[in-house]
Amino acid sequence: MGGAVSAGEDNDDLIDNLKEAQYIRTERVEQAFRAIDRGDYYLDGYRDSAYKDLAWKHGNIHLSAPCIYSEVMEALKLQPGLSFLNLGSGTGYLSTMVGLIIGPFGVNHGVELHKDVVEYARDKLDSFIKTSDSFDKFEFCEPVFVVGDCLEISTDSHQYDRIYCGAGVQKVHEYYMKVLLKVGGILVLPIEDQLTQITRTGQCTWDSKNILAVSFAPLVQQSRADGDKSDSVQLPSSILATCIHYLSLTLSLPPPHLTCCMSLPLSACSTINLGHLQSWPLVFSLSLCLSLSLSLCSISNFGHMHMYPLSLSLSLALFPSLSLFYSRSFSV
Q: Torsions phi, psi of 189, nearest 5?
A: -155, 155
Pairing between β-strand 144-147 and β-strand 107-112 as defined by DSSP bridges: parallel
Query: What are the backbone angles phi and psi of residue 146, rounded to the nearest 5°?
Result: -120, 135
Catalytic residues: 64
Q: Vertex 71, ends 69 and 77: CA angle to 5°?
A: 105
Parallel/antiparallel/unpaired status of strands 205-213 and 194-202: antiparallel
Nearest to 287 by CA among 107, 105, 65: 105
Residue 233 per-residue DSSP state = B
- Rounded CA-CA distance 116/91 in Å is 10
**Identity (one letter) of the amino acid at 248?**
S
